[in-house]
């Protein structure tokens, strides 16, 4: 199959997103690099997050919703002792620093148990969630009350490493639509010391792995034929 036929039928591009870009930024740069207008992504990553972004290009764009619904895996660090307005390190502090000395291994594990299995989760106030045609972050930035709209999510794995100077490493595998930022914030509330998401990296979407992804800048530098070769390119 030649390059033009492959693009017509569709291809998935596995991209390792750098920090500081929105998922839409990555899509736009992929469009410019490939000359393809029809590209979408299968699950938003916040600007601070890095890792796997699955781009559905050409004929594969019709499958975007299918890939978006797949379970996703992440690794990262939760910072105890400080809640923020956005539930991550980019947000304004929500109150003073708090002592997390009482958060020992047993207390952390008991609190974490509430975030395994199925449970109801409310999206962060600073999120792209829409109600009545308006996004939550638009309302939050204007100081308006953001509605509470819990949604059932599922966490099949939530493993925590040892706490080191208020930094709590973790790995998680969860259903589509789960906000890891909310888990970080709510874990801090359960522990009574506040917390926010300090780092986040997506490691998988379904069976697709970040190890097979191409860093965005490397992807942009490839020629057409190289860009369509695996493992970062998967024909559909």
Q: Kindly report the number of other CB atoms within 10 A of residue 42's CB atom.
A: 25
Long-range contact set of residues 214-217: C-beta below 8 Å, sequence gap at least 24: 214/13, 214/14, 214/15, 214/16, 215/15, 215/16, 215/18, 216/15, 216/16, 216/17, 216/18, 216/21, 216/26, 216/29, 216/30, 217/18
In sign, the C-alpha dihedral spanning 178, 182, 188, 189 is negative
Q: Which residues have C-beta within 8 Å of that of residue 106, sequence separation ≥ 6?
A: none
Catalytic residues: 46
Which is nearest to 19 in space by CA: 199, 139, 178?
199
């Amino acid at each position: 199959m030649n390059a033009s036929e492959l693009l017509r039928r569709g291809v998935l591009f596995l991209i390792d997103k750098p920090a500081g870009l929105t998922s839409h930024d990555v899509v736009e740069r992929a469009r410019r690099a490939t000359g393809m207008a029809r590209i979408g992504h299968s699950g938003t990553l916040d600007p601070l997050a890095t890792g796997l972004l699955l781009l559905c290009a050409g004929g594969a764009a019709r499958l975007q919703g299918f890939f978006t619904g797949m379970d996703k895996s992440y690794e990262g660090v939760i910072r105890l002792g400080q809640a923020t307005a956005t539930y991550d390190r980019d947000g304004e502090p929500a109150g003073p620093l708090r002592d997390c000395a009482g958060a020992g291994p047993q207390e952390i594990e008991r609190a974490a148990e509430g975030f395994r299995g199925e449970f109801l989760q409310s999206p962060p106030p600073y999120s792209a969630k829409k109600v009545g045609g308006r996004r939550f972050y638009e309302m939050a930035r204007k100081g308006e009350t953001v509605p509470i709209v819990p949604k059932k999510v599922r966490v099949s794995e939530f493993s925590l490493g040892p706490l080191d100077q208020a930094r709590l490493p973790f790995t998680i595998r969860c259903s589509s639509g789960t906000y890891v930022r909310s888990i970080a914030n709510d874990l801090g509330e359960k522990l009574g010391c506040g917390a926010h998401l300090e780092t986040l990296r997506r490691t998988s979407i379904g069976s697709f792995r970040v190890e097979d992804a191409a860093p965005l800048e490397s992807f942009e530098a490839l020629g057409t034929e190289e860009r369509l070769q695996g493992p970062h390119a998967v024909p559909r």
